[in-house]
């Protein structure tokens, strides 16, 4: 319970919520993805980002946390197009393309610059 409270208290700037939404939308519109990230998948990504930031000793999330958690959290949730399914490491490459197509927030994400 203590660990759960610690990660859920990690601050997520509004720009990071928007960044996650844009990433989700990009997966839904990518030509090599038949079925993109679902609402539950986006929630799982958010929770993983918060936990990752907490493990790193921070009370706030950053865009780099989202980038770090995207692959492990959502790769298995994507349904690739028929042609993309048979290419090696295609999911990783597609997620890299998705990140490249979404503008990274540049506003300061820290709230109080504290560590856990």
pLDDT by residue for the chain (116 residues), tens digit each?
666 666 778 999 999 999 999 999 999 999 999 999 999 999 999 999 999 999 999 999 999 999 999 999 999 999 888 777 667 668 899 999 999 999 999 866 555 444 44
pLDDT of residue 84: 73
Topology classification of domain 2-100: Helicase, Ruva Protein; domain 3 (1.10.8)
Buried b (16+ CB within 10 A) or exposed e, 54-80: beeebbbbbbebbbbbbeebbeebbeb
pLDDT of residue 90: 85
pLDDT of residue 3: 64
Residue closest to 91 by CA, chosen among 101, 102, 78: 78
How many residues can be counted in the chain?
A: 116
32: left (phi over 0), alpha (psi -120 to 50) or beta: alpha
């Amino acid at each position: 319970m203590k660990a759960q409270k610690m990660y859920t208290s990690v601050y997520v700037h509004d720009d990071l919520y928007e960044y996650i939404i844009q990433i989700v939308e990009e997966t839904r519109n990518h030509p090599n993805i038949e079925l993109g990230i679902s609402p539950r998948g986006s929630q799982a990504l958010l929770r993983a980002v918060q936990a990752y930031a907490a493990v790193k000793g921070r009370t706030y999330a950053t865009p780099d946390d989202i980038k770090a958690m995207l692959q492990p959290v959502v790769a298995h949730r994507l349904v690739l197009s028929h042609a993309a399914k048979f290419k090696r490491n295609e999911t990783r490459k597609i997620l890299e393309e998705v990140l490249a197509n979404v503008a990274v927030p540049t506003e300061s994400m820290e709230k109080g610059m504290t560590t856990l």
